[in-house]
Amino acid sequence: MNPVTIDPVVEFPKVEKMLYSLAWKFSNQYPLTFEEARSEAYYGFMRACQDYNPARGKFSSWVYYWAWCRLKDVVMKAAKDPLDFMEINDDILEGEEPKTSMIQEHLEELSEDARELVSLLLETPAELVGLALGPERYLKRVKDHMVVKKGRDRARVEAAALEARQTFRRVWGQPAMA
């Protein structure tokens, strides 16, 4: 049987509660806001309306399947690269001014190796783009990049990382750690 095109305006009230519930479950289980989850569930509904095939079962089951798939895709993408979903706004910055001028002042104090390490951290090399890593794992990856790709001595790279860490902790008023 050929797919049947469904009028979303007519069918939406019949599945709205189900989509709302599915979005609520995803927003409570995964790092999605309810609005994002609801939007993705509605996207799945629209996709289901485009190619519903009555031979495959009830329309509501078809909608649930597409909404669930769409939400799972969004969650999986966020898990692979959580930084893609980071949105900078006033709540995150909490009114603080960026300290780029302070960084520039203190970069000049650093050794050449430490400056290179900081520049690699700030300007990600192509080999490191798209990695979903926490800060410590990312730092390790950058240090490995300097050793393997740039031919630096591991001990010098470790010393440069320690120097950069101590300098910037001093800039932000945090105690330096070894």
pLDDT of residue 132: 44
Tell whether 158 and 103 lie within a shared domain.
yes
Q: Specify whether 73 is located in the same domain as 99.
A: no
Of the residues 67, 85, 103, which one is the last residue of a structural domain?
85
CA distance 133 to 140: 10
Between 167 and 70, the more confident residue is: 70
58 and 27 fall within a common domain: yes
Q: Is residue 107 part of a domain?
A: yes
What are 10-68's pLDDT values in tens digits? 999 999 999 999 999 998 888 788 999 999 999 999 998 888 888 888 999 999 999 99
Give tens-digit pLDDT for 126-157.
Answer: 555 444 445 666 677 778 878 877 788 889 88
What kind and span of H or E run contains 39? helix 34-50
Same domain, 167 and 130: yes
Please tell me the predicted confidence (pLDDT) of residue 95: 47
Residues 152 and 126 placed together within one structural domain of the fold: yes
- Clarify whether residues 56 and 102 are in a common domain: no
* 81 shares a domain with 15: yes
Q: Does the residue 137 lie in any domain?
A: yes
In this structure, the answer to whether residues 64 and 117 fall within a common structural domain is no
The pTM of the full predicted model, rounded to 2 decimals, is 0.46
Tell me, yes or no, whether 176 lies in a domain: no
**Residue 102 or residue 175, greater confidence:** 102
Query: How long a stretch of residues is the chain?
Result: 178
CA distance 45 to 11: 10
Reported as a pLDDT band with limits 50, 70 and 90, residue 92 is very low
Verify that 114 and 164 share a domain, yes or no.
yes
Name residues whose C-beta falls within 8 Å of residue 153's C-beta, 6 or more positions apart in sequence. 147
119 neighbors 161 (Cβ within 8 angstroms): no
pLDDT of residue 152: 84
Judge whether 59 and 48 are in contact, CB under 8 Å: yes
Coil/strand/helix, residue 32: coil
Domain final position from 65, 85, 105: 85
Higher local confidence (pLDDT), 90 or 158? 158
67 and 49 within one domain: yes
Structure tokens at 36: 């994002």
- Residue 122 is predicted with a pLDDT of 65
Q: Do 81 and 99 belong together in one domain?
A: no
Contact of 159 with 113, CB cutoff 8 Å? yes
Q: How many domains would you assign to the chain?
A: 2
Could you report the per-residue pLDDT of 151-163, keeping only the tens digit for each? 888 898 888 888 8
- Expressed as residue numbers, the domain containing 80 is 8-85
Residues 107 and 146 in one domain: yes
Would you state the pLDDT for residue 151?
A: 82
Domain stop point among 85, 119, 149? 85
User: What is the reported pLDDT for 63?
Assistant: 92
pLDDT of residue 178: 41
